Amino acid sequence: MRIEKCYFCSGPVYPGHGMMFVRNDCKVFRFCKSKCHKNFKKKRNPRKTRWTKAFRKAAGKELTVDNSLEFEKRRNIPMKYQRELWSKTVEAMKRVEEIKQKRQARFIMNRLKKGKQLEKEEAINEVKKNIHLIKAPHAGKAQKLEEKMVEKLQEDVEMGDD
Amino acid sequence: MALARRFGAALSKISGTQHCAFSVSAAVAAIQKMTRVRVVDNSTLGNTLYHRPPRVIHVYTKNGVGKVGDKVLLAIRGQKKKALIVGHKMPGDRMTPRFDSNNVVLIEENGNPTGTRIKVPIPWHLRKLEGDYSKLLAIAHRFV
């Protein structure tokens, strides 16, 4: 028994779920649900359908090159059964899964951080542009009046000197 | 005059859609008489080209519908030959693969395969026919 990958969305296909299709060139396609199967029949390219993992990896939205992903690759060499190896492998699988989730999450967070920065800059620009909407009507007038008076006084002093 | 004729034609069309003038029966599906099949073993009879595709002329089941694992009679190159169905286009049982063509393997009277190799993938659940068609399962290269 093996948990296969859906050809279209790359999701897990558990036993008892989904559909298998054998094409005349002897290539086998597994689908996790009829949504993927129907899209396949419509000849949609999974690398262009935005909700599939294939698109996300191809568009750089998800972690692609990582050591923790190497563990998922299929090995075609059968191993002789050893009890300790078996139990150790199960523990290792749990740990690798943990690490993989964390790395994937961090990758996505890093990708979205740039967006937060851009948002902040946008907000500042917007406030600067539309300051006239939120500034109080007589906000800077007192200061301006003061400056004017200072200027006038200075002029008077200069005139007085002359 | 022309206007009246057009109205009359329109009326008859409307009345036609209200009841079917022909009878419809439920689809039989899978492999039945007169279906064209694809021979997937490497026998000469199945692989030499002929101007007519091999057709099913009899299905050895209680109803005339052949599913995977049923025996059928084919007409190939002007001869009659028995064959075993190893895959059809119709979606079958859950957990069985669906194939892109109606695949068939030529067989003798005693159940021995005519060819010596089957390169096309064969469904795994045919393994239960171990007793009758064990020779056929033995020459299959790939199970799916």
Nearest alpha-carbon partner for B90 in B72, B102, B105: B102
H or E, element range at A100 = helix A83-129
Say if the Cβ atoms of B121 and A19 lie within 8 Å. Answer: no
CA distances for B135 relative to A90, A99, B130, B142, angstroms? 40, 49, 9, 14
| Token representation of residue A19 | 């559909």
Distance (Å, whole) CA B16 – CA B12: 6
3-state secondary structure of A57: helix
Least Cα separation, residue A48 to chain B (angstroms): 25
Say if the Cβ atoms of A22 and B99 lie within 8 Å. Answer: yes
pTM value? 0.75
Nearest alpha-carbon partner for B60 in B40, B79, B38, B80: B80
Say if the Cβ atoms of A22 and B91 lie within 8 Å. Answer: no
Distance (Å, whole) CA A2 – CA B53: 39
Decide if B112 touches A, using CB distance below 8 A. Answer: no
Distance (Å, whole) CA B82 – CA B132: 14
- Given a cut of 90, whether residue B115 has pLDDT beyond it is yes
Least Cα separation, residue B29 to chain A (angstroms): 18
Residues A58-101: pLDDT tens digits?
Answer: 999 999 999 999 888 888 899 999 999 999 999 999 999 999 99
Contacts of A54 by beta carbon, 8 Å cutoff, 6+ apart: A8, A9, A10, A46, A47
For the segment A112-118, the average pLDDT, to the nearest whole number, is 94
Distance (Å, whole) CA B34 – CA B74: 9
Q: What is the pLDDT of residue B18?
A: 59
Parallel, antiparallel, or unpaired: how do β-strands B98-99 and A19-22 relate? parallel
A17 and B95 in contact (C-beta within 8 Å)?
A: no
Say if the Cβ atoms of A21 and B101 lie within 8 Å. Answer: no
Distance (Å, whole) CA A5 – CA A14: 9
H or E, element range at A114 = helix A83-129
Residues A116-142: pLDDT tens digits?
Answer: 999 999 999 999 999 888 888 888 888
Q: Is A17 exposed, middle or buried (0-12, 13-18, 19+ CB in 10 A)?
A: middle
CB pairs under 8 A between A and B: 31
Chain A CB contacts of B97 under 8 Å are: 20-22, 28
> ipTM higher than 0.85?
no
Q: pLDDT class for B25, splitting at 50, 70, 90?
A: low
Q: What is the pLDDT of residue A161?
A: 85
Q: CB count, 10 Å around CB of B61? A: 15
- Per cent of chain B over pLDDT 90 is 71
Q: pLDDT class for B28, splitting at 50, 70, 90?
A: low
Q: What is the pLDDT of residue A123?
A: 96
- Given a cut of 50, whether residue B16 has pLDDT beyond it is no
